[in-house]
C-alpha cells in the first residue's frame, strides 16, 4: 500500500523537499507530536523504510545524494536532531534517536546491512545502593567517509573518526579518535592503522 504524503498533518511533520529528492511510496509513517521537520536535499532518497517521529520540534536532515534504502528510523522525544551527511549510502539500518540526544552521520559514508545505531539502552541499569540510573543516554557522532560492515552495532555516546572502517559484526561501545584505521571486534578496537577505503574495486 502506498503512503499519501499529502495527507500528513503539517502541524505534526513538515516535509521540505527539493525537486530532485524522493521518498518511496511504500515508506511507513508513525507520527505524533508537533513542530517536527524532515528536510530532504538534492537527489536525496528515502526508501521503503519505517519512520517514527514522536515528539516536538525534532529535525531530520537527509542531505544531498543520500540513499537510505531500508530500515527503521525512530526519533522519539523533543528538540533532537538526526542528520545524514551528503553522499552517504545505507543499505539497511535501525536508528534510535531519543532521550534528548542527537545522531550525526558524516558525508560519503557507506553502511552495509542489519546495522544498529542507538543513543540509549532503552531500559535502566541502576546503582544497587543509590538507585540512580548509571546507563544514561548519549549522542552519537560518526565522521566522514566511514564504512560500516554488516551487522555492526554502535551504542550510546560513541564517536567515530573520519576515514575509518568498522568490521562486520563489531560492537562499538566506546569512542575512537584515530582516523585511517580499521576498527573491529567485541568490543571494537583499532586493529589496523594507515588505511583508507574506496567504493570501487581497484
Q: C-alpha cell of 2?
A: 502506498
Above pLDDT 70, what percent of the chain?
100
Give residue 3's pLDDT.
82
Number of domains in the chain: 1
Residue 158 lies in a domain: yes
Half-sphere exposure of 187 (CA within 13 A, CB side): 8
CATH at 81:
2.160.10.10
Residue 49 lies in a domain: yes
Report if pTM > 0.75.
yes
Residue 124 lies in a domain: yes
Rounded Cα gap, residues 4 and 156, in angstroms = 34
Residue 166 lies in a domain: yes
Over residues 126-160, the pLDDT tens digits come to: 999 999 999 999 999 999 999 999 999 999 999 99
CB 134 within 8 A of CB 126: yes
Q: Assign residue 129 a region: left if phi > 0, alpha if psi is -120 to 50, beta otherwise?
A: alpha
Provide CB contacts within 8 A for 2, sequence distance 6+. 25, 26
Residue 114 lies in a domain: yes
Residue 64 lies in a domain: yes
Residue 50 lies in a domain: yes
Rounded Cα gap, residues 68 and 180, in angstroms = 25
Range of the domain at 114: 5-193
Residue 198 lies in a domain: no
Residues for the chain: how many in total? 202
**pLDDT one digit per residue (tens) for the chain, 202 residues:** 578 888 899 999 999 999 999 999 999 999 999 999 999 999 999 999 999 999 999 999 999 999 999 999 999 999 999 999 999 999 999 999 999 999 999 999 999 999 999 999 999 999 999 999 999 999 999 999 999 999 999 999 999 999 999 999 999 999 999 999 999 999 999 999 999 999 999 9
Amino acid at each position: 500500500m502506498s503512503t499519501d504524503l499529502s495527507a500528513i498533518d503539517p502541524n505534526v511533520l513538515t516535509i521540505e523537499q527539493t525537486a530532485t529528492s524522493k521518498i518511496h511510496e511504500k515508506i511507513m509513517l508513525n507520527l505524533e507530536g508537533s513542530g517536527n521537520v524532515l528536510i530532504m536535499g538534492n537527489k536525496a532518497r528515502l526508501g521503503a523504510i519505517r519512520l517514527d517521529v514522536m515528539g516536538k520540534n525534532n529535525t531530520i536532515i537527509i542531505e544531498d545524494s543520500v540513499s537510505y534504502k531500508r530500515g527503521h528510523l525512530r526519533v522519539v522525544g523533543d528538540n533532537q536532531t538526526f542528520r545524514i551527511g551528503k553522499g552517504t549510502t545505507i543499505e539497511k539500518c535501525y536508528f534510535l534517536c531519543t532521550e534528548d540526544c542527537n545522531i550525526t552521520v558524516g558525508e560519503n559514508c557507506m553502511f552495509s546491512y542489519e546495522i544498529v545505531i542507538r543513543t540509549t539502552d532503552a531500559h535502566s541499569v541502576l546503582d544497587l545502593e543509590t538507585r540512580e540510573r548509571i546507563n544514561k543516554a548519549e549522542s552519537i557522532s560518526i565522521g566522514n567517509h566511514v564504512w560500516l560492515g554488516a551487522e555492526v552495532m554502535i551504542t550510546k555516546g560513541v564517536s567515530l573518526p573520519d576515514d575509518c572502517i568498522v568490521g562486520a559484526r563489531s560492537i562499538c561501545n566506546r569512542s575512537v579518535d584515530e582516523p585511517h584505521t580499521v576498527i573491529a571486534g567485541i568490543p571494537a578496537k583499532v586493529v589496523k592503522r594507515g588505511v583508507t577505503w574506496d567504493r570501487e574495486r581497484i
